[in-house]
Every structure is written in structure tokens, then in C-alpha cells.
Amino acid sequence: MKDIDSNLLEPDLWAVAVYRPGHTAPIRSVYADEDFIYTSSNDETVKIWEKGSWEEIATLQTLCYPVISIHADADYLFTGAIDGTVRVWERDSWREVAAFRVPFKTMTAMYVDADYVYCGSKDGTLSVWKRNVWQKITDLQGHDDAISSIHADGVYIYTASHDKTIKVWERGSWQETTVLQGHADKVSSVFADADYIYTGSWDSTMKVWEQETWRELDSLQFYYSEVSLLNPVLFIFVEANYIYAALFDHTIKVLTRTNLREVATLRGIMFIAPSLFVDADHVYSSSWDQIVKVWEKGTWQEVTTLQSPSSRAIFTLSDADYIYLGNNKYKLGTRGVIKIWDCHSWQEITTLTQDCAIFSLHVDSDYFYTYSWSGMVNIWERGSWRKVTTFDVKTHRIFSIQSDTDYIYLVSFDWTVKVWDRKTWEEIVTLQSDSGKICSLFADEKNIYTGTLNGKLIIWERGSWRETATLEGHAKAITSMYTNAYYIYSASEDKTIKVWERDSWRNLVTLVSDLTNIEYMYSDSNYFYTGARDGTVKVWERDGWQEVKIKAKISSKKIRDAQFGSNVDISIEIVAGYFLVGLNTGLLQNINDRERLKELKQLFGTAAFNKGIVLSRFGNKTIVSPKGYEYLTQAELEKKRLQYQKVDEINNTSRI
């Protein structure tokens, strides 16, 4: 019987080179050399584009996990996936020549130099692997939170972390040399040259530190251009003459390296740019809108964009009667397109368009809402699909919207809630508090509940808009809230869920969770449910508040799109040992049909069901939905099935 190292993968079985035009999910990383540009994405692919012609020439596809980091040199291309898998591809032939798995739950950063591959994890561990032999040398531990960025210069390795520090390690001895402290929030990026270390943070500063003395020499604060709000730094790149900082407001600032003077601002990125790369001639930025923008150095003019020639559905929503599929087109100006389908007949009903990019969707009993980062909200009458009105919340980007029978609530990046009358379509009040910056909202028939970045829950009386109570207890930002007749539930980044008694506002119990990103909650007479951004669903007993010891992990897209409320069923079914949760049962067809689910398991296998794959029918098309929606013909569906079958074969072989 063949012995298989569970950390080593058989490359021929795990990945193949295929062609598929353009990325179909957010782009996580970008890299370039003298001939090619490389992009990695949440769609589990790496694409290679030819410089000059800007044409896509190859797609490297790895199964099951998003690729978060890439690096290329004269011989190889390295890709790092969120599950800890590092793949090595031969340059030009694009053939996979090696693969190894770092035993992390989640990989968060990767860096490669001439001798080593460095992998950072969510738990703060830095794993060092020797190139060519692909063996682990050591694990460096010391950070208290996720490693967000790694850089190496031949003498030292630098790791930036969400614990607000930067650690410097000596290369070879692997000993910690020093810790750089001074940032007030998560450190997002680190870059080093012969003289200085540059760090960027969510506290909206870029700091410059002196090598060897490790002294902080300078600190630059960034603000939104239109308002005096802080502007977090997401990524830093440094070259001989310039420093490039990708900021939260979708811009890239170009600064002189000598005196930090701003020489240019690169604009036009529709969504946050999580990564950038600079070579001798161009600047390349990745983006969540599935597009790479290319600028010419010196003139700072946009040269081209690398994107898919066809649009894909990237926003999904459903209610009892309809499914809403939205996407953005960027070819001839930005345009948002929404297709609406009947849940029962599976027929397409209509197509709506708007002259700005869609950021997200919302629906209530009467109206359908589309909103964008630019502050534009379009409201359509549900059923007739007539556009009723448009709100233009100037200068402030909207990131959340809710509505009830009388009001519409818009949460924006000025950390306030704007309330609009649902009958007159007039803005009537802006809710803001000295207690903290508002980042989340929930409304019921009596009150408005707002969560703040500093962990406070502020309660407002509906109608009078008077602030009636402030509940304190969370240590970090409140991400989600929910209420019923008896309780208020609040989830926070501090990994706790607090249950408060209504009217008395007394904290009854604090539930400890291992999740920092709970976005939706729901409660019925027996259970309390939480849905997190990564697709994890937890269930708690209402009587005693004990966690039911089963976890479900479904598409994170469904978690984000689910409209939790009394009119939505949440069905739980255990089939062949797998725990499945159906949110918006109009989308998850036959979720309670055990025989049908068994058929799907046999068709797609264990790997597919571990990803929460479900099927729905649109005419002669089948929708496979581990991440939003993919339109698949029967031939493509069979190909997908075979891919997941290979994953099952490898997993089964590895357990022998």
C-alpha cells in the first residue's frame, strides 16, 4: 500500500490548465514580470496576461479554494490558497511541478525569495519552507492575531499583523529581532528596502521606520478627499523613487520616496483595491470588481483594463416570489444590470438597468432597492418593476440598507444612519451619536438599534428618533443585531453574542463564539441561529443558551444574501452525515427531500457537499451554487462533477 504524506499533493490530479475568459470573482492579488501579468482570484484561478497586447493567454485552475497570493520569478510561478496549499508552476509551460500544504486552517499571506517560501496564517504563525526540496524548515510564532503581510530582504523577514505590530525576524537563525509598535489598529501591509521599513494600517496611517535602529521616523495620515474621515491603508509598494499606497476610498496615492510628497492620485477603481504591483513601466491594481487596471508610470494615465469580455452574476437575492441576479458591466461606461426570475416557474421576467455600479440589493414587501458605493439608491416597484425614485446620498458611500412599512434606513461611511420616508421619499432625519461611529443597524416596530465601531448598542425610538438607551459590554465593533418580542441579540468582532432583555435592557447572557464576522441572526421559539461571512451557521438552544454541537458551512454568498426574518423558513436536514441549512428555501430546491439530497450527494460527491453545493433549474440550464451563481450547461455540469470526483478520490487515498 502506498504511503502518502498528507501535506503533499499529487499535482496532476489536483490542478489543470484551462481557458476561461476573465475572472468571475474578486481579484485578490496581482504580480508582474518582464513578460506577463499574473492575477489571482476568489474564483479559484490564476490568470496569465501578456504584456503589451494585454490578452489573457492561460488560466491555471485549482480546485475548491480561493488563491490569495501569487509570486513569480525567472523559473516558477507560486500560488498560495486560503486552505494553506502552495502550488509551484513551471513558467511558460504553466505545468504544475510541485505542491505542498501548510497545516493551517487559513493562510492569510505568502512571500517567496530565492531560497524560501514564507506562509502566514490566521493564527499568527509564520511557516518557512525550503525551495526545490519543498520541506518545512520552521514555524515562527509570536503574533497574537492573523499575519496580513510578509516581506523579506535577504537579511530579515518582516511580518505585519492584525495584532497592531510588525515583527522582524533574522533570516537563517529564525530568531525574533525586534517588534515595531505604534499603529493604533490592524497593520495591513509591510514593505522594506535597504534603509527603511514602510507599514500601512487600518488606523489610516503609513509609517516609516529606520533599519537597524528600528526607530519610527515619519507618519503620514490619510483622509477621504471629500470629507474629513480617516482613510485606511490597505497595501503598500515601494520602489526606487516612489511609494504607492492603496487606500480604502478606492484610490492609489503616489508619493515621493524622499519626502512623502504626493505626486499623483490614481482613480477609477470601482471597488477596494486589496493589492498592487509596480514594474519599470506600469502600475497594476487588483480589485473586488474582477478588474485589473494598468497605469503608465510618470504620466499616471490609465493604459488599459484586464477583465472578462462577458459579465457574470455577482449579486444575488431572493424572496418568496422572485430571484434577483445583478451584475456590473464596465465596457462602455459602468452600468448595473439586474435580471429578475420567477421562483415558481423559473422563467426570466424582466431586466432592469442603472447607470452606476451595483454594490448590493435589498427587497421588502413592496419595493426592490439597488444601491452603490457612490451613494445612489434606485427604488423599483415590486411586480411592475417600474422605477419609483432615486436617492442620491452625495459624498457618502452606502454600505447597508434596511426598510420597514414606513421608513428606509441607509447606513453610510460617514458612520450615520439616514432615515427616509417610504411614502414621500423625503429624507427626514440623520441619526448620529457621540457614543460612537455607527456601523450596523436593525429596526423593528418600536425601535432602531445601531451598533458602533467601539462596541456600543444605541437604541432610538422609532418616529421621535430620540436616543433612549446605550448598552455597553462588547469590546469591539458590533456586526449584527436581531430582536424578537423578548430579546435583543448583538454579535460583535470580540467573538461574543450578547442577549439583552427588552425594555429593561439588562444583559441576560453572553454567548462565546469563535467567529468574528457574524452578519445575520434569526430566532424562532426553540433556537437561535447565527450566520457568518465565511458561511458558518451555528445553532443555539433558546432554553439554556447552549450551542447545538453541529456546524453548517454553506455558501458565504447565501449567508450575505439571506433575508433573515419571520417570513423565511430555515430548514435543517441531516443527509448521509452532512448538516445542511436552507436559507431562502425558494433557492434551495427540495431541501427537505432526503432522497433528492442523496441523489445530489451521489452525483457530486463528498467534496461538493462539504462546500454546500445545491442545484436549481433555470429552463435547460443548471445552477451550481457554491459561490453565488454559475450558469452551467449539461456538459459543463458533467465537467464540474468530474472535478469534484477527483477531489474525493484524493481525499480518500490520503486517508489510506
- In degrees and rounded to multiples of 5, residue 410 shows phi and psi of -115, 120
User: Is position 190 within any domain?
Assistant: yes
How far is Cα 537 from Cα 326, in angstroms, rounded to an integer? Answer: 25
Which of 50, 496, 87, 413 shows the shortest CA–CA distance to 225?
Answer: 413
pLDDT band (50, 70, 90) for residue 566: very low
Angle between helices 634-654 and 594-610 (to 10 degrees): 70
Per the structure, the count of domains in the chain is 1
Which residue blocks in 39-148 are alpha helix, DSSP H?
Answer: none
Average pLDDT, the chain: 76
Cα first-last separation, the chain: 8
Ordered DSSP codes for 540-598:
EETTT-PEEEEEEE--HHHHHH---STTS-EEEEEETTEEEEEESTTTSTTTT-HHHHH
pLDDT attached to residue 76: 93
Report strand pairing: 205-210 vs 196-201. antiparallel
What grid cell was written down for 231? 482613510
The answer to whether 274 and 288 are in contact (CB under 8 A) is: yes
- Lowest-pLDDT range of 370-379, 407-416, 502-511: 370-379
What grid cell was written down for 420? 427616509
Highest mean pLDDT among 502-511, 582-591, 614-623, 629-638: 502-511
Which of 553, 562, 557 shows the shortest CA–CA distance to 608?
Answer: 553
User: Is position 162 within any domain?
Assistant: yes
How far is Cα 186 from Cα 108, in angstroms, rounded to an integer? Answer: 14
Cα–Cα–Cα angle for 57, 60, 65, nearest 5°? 145
The answer to whether 581 and 554 are in contact (CB under 8 A) is: yes
Give per-residue pLDDT as tens, 449-461: 999 988 999 999 9
CA 579 and chain centroid, separation: 24
pLDDT band (50, 70, 90) for residue 596: very low
User: Is position 594 within any domain?
Assistant: no
User: Is position 532 within any domain?
Assistant: no
Q: What is the CATH number of the domain that holds 119?
A: 2.130.10.10
Give per-residue pLDDT as tens, 82-129: 878 899 998 878 888 888 888 766 889 999 999 999 999 999 999 999
What grid cell was written down for 595? 432522497
pLDDT band (50, 70, 90) for residue 74: confident
What is the extent of the structural domain holding 111?
Answer: 11-306
What region, left, alpha or beta, does residue 317 occupy, with left being phi > 0 and alpha being psi -120 to 50 degrees?
beta
pTM surpassing 0.75? no
pLDDT band (50, 70, 90) for residue 569: very low
Q: E strands along 311-466, which residues?
A: 315-318, 322-329, 335-342, 348-354, 360-363, 367-371, 376-381, 387-392, 398-403, 407-412, 417-421, 427-431, 438-443, 447-452, 457-461
User: Is position 605 within any domain?
Assistant: no
Question: % helix / strand / coil in the chain, to the nearest 5?
Answer: 5, 50, 40
User: Is position 457 within any domain?
Assistant: no
What grid cell was written down for 429? 432625519
Mean pLDDT, rounded, for 610-629: 34
User: Is position 225 within any domain?
Assistant: yes
User: Is position 76 within any domain?
Assistant: yes
DSSP state of 638: H
- Higher per-residue pLDDT: 562 or 502: 502
Mean pLDDT, rounded, for 247-266: 91
CB neighbour class for 2 (10 Å; exposed up to 12, middle 13-18, buried from 19)? exposed
